């Protein structure tokens, strides 16, 4: 089975802090994604990556950056955390050279991040 | 811009009932459609993926259909059980973007 592991289930940080969310997958997937999920807004794509050192902006990249130095690891960085970034963050991965190939996305358990 | 809608937002049924969850999308140019299940406070579990060339997919008590021309998909759950209680999300995969999600249908099955 595919395993997507997010480093923290719950995280509390203060405004202005630099926050790192880590995601690791064990299936040698090319594609990795970061979403945030908010009540009433659903899941929205922040960033995705289809190869090592490659990244693409999603729908809501402002205030975030990402890093993918190794194929199995995709990190989401909140440069200067703000209260409106309090949310559930979900990482996903999928197989395929072409990131829109017909392979399902597999999700981690999520990180519930609170910014105080 | 692609929009995905799921109706109803919430559904309550007694155990044993067969039920249908609906998903509609505005742009039929999709590569595939995926159904997920999400338990409270958890991540998403992939249930079924239907490619654009397919009409339906089945897994156990679940059957998902796709009508690209009308922009609709349904998830049929047979003989529902309390353990089926969760939020069900559909998402479309459209070239040039990652998955675009609906807001989900929260299902409650009572024993």
SS3 state at B96: coil
Average pLDDT over residues B87-105: 88
pLDDT digits (tens, 9 = 90+) for B28-48: 989 899 999 999 988 999 999
Task: Dump the DSSP string for B39-51.
Answer: -TTS-EEEEEEEE
d(CA B15, CA A49): 42
CA A83 to chain CA mean position, Å: 18
Contact B34 A33 (CB under 8 A): no
* Residue of A43, A46, A54, A60 to mutate when probing chain B, most B C-beta within 10 A: A43
Contacts of B51 in chain A (CB under 8 A): 102
Contact B41 A112 (CB under 8 A): yes
Give the full edge-to-edge strand order of the sheet including B19-25: B4-7, B19-25, B72-77, B62-67, B56-59
Contacts of A45 in chain B (CB under 8 A): 97-99
Contact A102 B46 (CB under 8 A): no
User: Does residue B98 surpass a pLDDT of 80?
Assistant: no
Q: Could you give the percent of chain A with pLDDT greater than 70?
A: 93
pLDDT digits (tens, 9 = 90+) for A51-79: 888 899 999 999 999 999 999 999 999 99
How many CB atoms are located within 10 Å of the residue B38 CB? Answer: 20
d(CA B50, CA B32): 6
Tokens of B93: 């995969």
Contacts of A103 in chain B (CB under 8 A): 49
Contacts of B79 (CB under 8 A, 6+ apart): B16, B17, B18, B61
pLDDT digits (tens, 9 = 90+) for A27-50: 898 889 999 999 989 999 999 998
Least confidently predicted of A1-15, A68-82, A90-104, B57-71: A90-104
d(CA B37, CA B106): 10
Share the mean pLDDT of chain B: 94
Angstroms from A110 CA to nearest CA on chain B:
5
Minimum-distance CB partner of B101 among A42, A48, A104:
A42
**Closest chain A residue to the Cα of B93, Cα to Cα:** A100
Angstroms from B96 CA to nearest CA on chain A:
8
């Amino acid at each position: 089975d595919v395993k997507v592991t997010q480093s923290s289930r719950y995280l509390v940080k203060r405004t202005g802090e630099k926050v790192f969310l880590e995601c690791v997958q064990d299936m040698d997937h090319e594609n990795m994604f970061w979403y945030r999920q908010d009540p009433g807004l659903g899941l929205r794509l922040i960033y995705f990556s289809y190869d090592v050192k490659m990244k693409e902006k999603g729908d809501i990249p402002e205030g975030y950056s990402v890093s993918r130095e190794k194929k199995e690891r995709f990190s989401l960085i909140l440069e200067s955390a703000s209260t409106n970034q309090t949310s559930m963050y979900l990482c996903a991965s999928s197989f395929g050279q072409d990131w829109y190939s017909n392979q399902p996305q597999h999700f981690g358990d999520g990180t519930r991040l609170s910014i105080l | 811009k692609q929009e995905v809608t799921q109706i109803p937002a919430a559904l309550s049924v007694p155990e044993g009932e067969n039920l249908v969850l609906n998903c509609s999308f505005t742009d039929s140019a999709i590569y595939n459609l995926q159904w997920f299940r999400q338990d409270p406070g958890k991540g998403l579990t992939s249930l079924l993926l239907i490619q654009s060339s397919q009409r339906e997919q089945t897994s156990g008590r679940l059957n998902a259909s796709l009508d690209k021309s009308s922009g609709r998909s349904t998830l049929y759950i047979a003989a529902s059980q309390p353990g089926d209680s969760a939020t069900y999300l559909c998402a479309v995969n459209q070239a040039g973007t990652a998955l675009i999600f609906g807001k989900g249908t929260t299902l409650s099955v009572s024993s």
